Chains A and B, each alone.
Chain A
Amino acid sequence: MIVETVGFAVVAVVLLASSLAVVLTKNLFHAVLYLAAALVSTAGIFLLLASPFLFAVQLLLYAGGVVTIVVFAIMLTERLVGERIAQTSRDIVNGAIVAAAVLVAVIGFLVQAPAMTPPATAVAEQTVAIGKALVGPFAVPLELLGLLLVAALLGAVYFARAED
């Protein structure tokens, strides 16, 4: 239990610090690296919650996939523009107000919730359970998500088509 608490504290601090750094750093490339750190520490939280499957998927899709694509986008646009692009924080005050409002709402929910729910008993075959759920009760939402992604892909192709 103590190991878990200390582990959670460490991961949470890293996660919060790197998330803040993502939005506050001027350097776009550093922002991506902090984003990678934030995504990896999110994976760490899944690990602390005894969900190795989600841990691996988080690493594979986010830290491996999303970060790679964001880097790709930055490198391509910098080459197109021909100069380093800096991250600006013009609306930092408005953003802070919105973030504070969301934080208050979240804390409101947490206050109403029972103080400590007992940790869910670990499912023995969690991976199998997730797989069965995805082809069973959640089959239709899964297919709809696929449809959404295909639509997004088609949209990207439409925007990227050669002008004629």
Chain B
Amino acid sequence: MTLPPIAFQALMAFIVLNAILVVVAYVTLLERKFAARMQSRIGPYYVGWPHGWLQPIADALKLMMKEDVVPDAADRWVYNLAPIVFLVPCLLIFATIPFAPGLGVADLNIGVLFFLAVSALEIVGLFMGGWGSNNKYALLSAMRAVNQIISYDLPFIFAALVPVVLAGSMQMSAIVGAQAGLLGWFLFYPVIGQLAFIAFIVATLAAENRVPFDILEAESELVAGFRVEYSGMKFALIQLAEYAHMLGTSFLGALLFLGGWLGPGPAWLGPVWFLLKALVVFLLVTWVRWSFVRIRVDQILAISWKLLLPLSLLLLMASAFVVAFGAGHGA
């Protein structure tokens, strides 16, 4: 490889961005198929043989050709800017994820922190959309979103920090490196690992606004939440951003708890393993989504503040104690 580093990074960014967009499109098909099977349906079938594999492309074409409606009462600038502000952080989070040793845009030494910080920006786009639409449903949805994100950001961060403490580094490749060996994955770390993974999954469900935490787009109450006024390509951008964020979080979960690209076989299988593990995390979240019903606002807040936050704080302290006094396999 004789490319200068900056050109290599630009090339990687281009490849990763496009690959992510394709994967995101097909993740929607995966979810629809998965949900359909859970409900004894077949799911998308007619567009493309076999099993409707052209469906995401057809959807994208349809959304691109739809009329772009802007409500008269909307706050035009905020309304038009919101999908972009929403999308950018959701794509930026992939910047620090290494898909194999040395194969990533930038393996920063603050990788995990960068991921958490950038994904925290997503909320700005969300309430811009909710407020800019000038619609009661959208505004209520944005309020609920802000409410929920305040509650679940902390447990999410603390749960994600447990592997960081155990590995003794915030660099993603170092965290994967610390999980080498049989049963070395942090998921298999006695007690702390499993509890932290559960906390991570629950906080992910809430952060992604998925059932049972989807009060902000509760169809029966709020139509479609903060995106109710969006149509055509802007709607597509919002959907894209949500799935990209979901996929990014799945990658993070696979990296923090499931050993990233580690797996049997030759080294070039690494990215394949990583993708498979990320899809496992994604399907786990999807499985919960299609199994449970929506819970009330007060229940959501109670779960966060009374259960998840103390639990994740305790786990963080426990892992710090293990590393400081015990024979942890970290620093």
A69 at the interface (CB under 8 A from B): yes
C-alpha spacing A125/B331, complex, angstroms: 15
Cβ of A68 and Cβ of B146 under 8 Å apart? yes
Cβ of B120 and Cβ of A65 under 8 Å apart? yes
Contacts A52-B108, A63-B124, A75-B139; A68 near B78 (Cβ below 8 A): no
Q: B121-146: which have CB < 8 Å to A? A: 121, 123-124, 127-128, 131, 139, 142-143, 146
Cβ of B120 and Cβ of A60 under 8 Å apart? yes
B18 at the interface (CB under 8 A from A): no
C-alpha spacing A67/B147, complex, angstroms: 13
**Interface 9-mer from B43-51, B110-118, B196-204:** B110-118
Interface residue from A29, A30, A40, A69 paired with B150 (Cβ < 8 Å)? A69
Q: Would you give the shortest CB distance from A61 to chain B, in whole angstroms?
A: 9
C-alpha spacing A60/B158, complex, angstroms: 13
Q: A34-79: which have CB < 8 Å to B? A: 36, 40, 52-53, 55-60, 63-65, 67-69, 71-72, 75-76
Q: B286-301: which have CB < 8 Å to A? A: none
B109 at the interface (CB under 8 A from A): yes
Cβ of A56 and Cβ of B150 under 8 Å apart? no
Q: Would you give the shortest CB distance from B301 to chain A, in whole angstroms?
A: 13
C-alpha spacing A131/B142, complex, angstroms: 36
Interface residue from B78, B109, B110 paired with A30 (Cβ < 8 Å)? B78
C-alpha spacing A65/B121, complex, angstroms: 9
Interface residue from B114, B117, B127, B128 paired with A64 (Cβ < 8 Å)? B117
A33 at the interface (CB under 8 A from B): yes
- Which secondary structure dominates where chain B touches chain A? helix
Q: Would you give the shortest CB distance from B204 to chain A, in whole angstroms?
A: 16
Interface residue from B113, B118, B143 paired with A53 (Cβ < 8 Å)? B113
Interface residue from B75, B121, B146, B150 paired with A75 (Cβ < 8 Å)? B146
Q: List B contacts of A125 (CB < 8 A).
A: 109
C-alpha spacing A76/B146, complex, angstroms: 11
A88 at the interface (CB under 8 A from B): no
A89 at the interface (CB under 8 A from B): no
Q: List A contacts of B114 (CB < 8 A).
A: 52, 56
Q: List B contacts of A59 (CB < 8 A).
A: 117-118, 120-121
Cβ of B150 and Cβ of A68 under 8 Å apart? yes
Q: List A contacts of B121 (CB < 8 A).
A: 40, 59, 63-64
C-alpha spacing A102/B293, complex, angstroms: 57
Residue of B whose beta carbon sits closest to that of A69 = B150
Q: A147-164: which have CB < 8 Å to B? A: none
C-alpha spacing A69/B143, complex, angstroms: 11
C-alpha spacing A55/B118, complex, angstroms: 10
Q: Would you give the shortest CB distance from A47 to chain B, in whole angstroms?
A: 11
B31 at the interface (CB under 8 A from A): no
Contacts A68-B149, A71-B146, A75-B146; A60 near B110 (Cβ below 8 A): no
Cβ of B170 and Cβ of A64 under 8 Å apart? no
Q: Would you give the shortest CB distance from A86 to chain B, in whole angstroms?
A: 14
B153 at the interface (CB under 8 A from A): yes
Q: List A contacts of B149 (CB < 8 A).
A: 68
Contacts A30-B78, A52-B114, A75-B143; A64 near B153 (Cβ below 8 A): yes
Residue of B whose beta carbon sits closest to that of A58 = B117
Cβ of A29 and Cβ of B117 under 8 Å apart? no
Q: Would you give the shortest CB distance from A1 to chain B, in whole angstroms?
A: 15
Q: B270-323: which have CB < 8 Å to A? A: none
C-alpha spacing A127/B150, complex, angstroms: 26
Interface residue from B118, B128, B142, B157 paired with A33 (Cβ < 8 Å)? B128
C-alpha spacing A67/B149, complex, angstroms: 12
C-alpha spacing A53/B171, complex, angstroms: 12
> Which of B118, B121, B124 has the most A CB atoms < 10 Å from its CB?
B124
Complex A-B: 9 CB contacts under 8 Å? A29-B78, A52-B108, A52-B110, A53-B110, A59-B117, A59-B118, A64-B123, A75-B143, A127-B109
- On B, residues with C-beta under 8 Å from A are 75, 78, 108-110, 113-114, 116-118, 120-121, 123-124, 127-128, 131, 139, 142-143, 146-147, 149-150, 153, 157, 170
Not counting A33-B78, A53-B113, A60-B157, a sample of 17 additional A-B residue pairs whose C-beta atoms are within 8 angstroms of each other reads: A52-B109, A59-B117, A59-B118, A60-B116, A60-B117, A63-B124, A64-B117, A64-B153, A65-B120, A65-B153, A67-B124, A68-B150, A69-B150, A72-B147, A75-B143, A127-B110, A127-B170
3 nearest A-B pairs in the assembled complex, by CB-CB distance: A64-B120, A59-B117, A60-B117
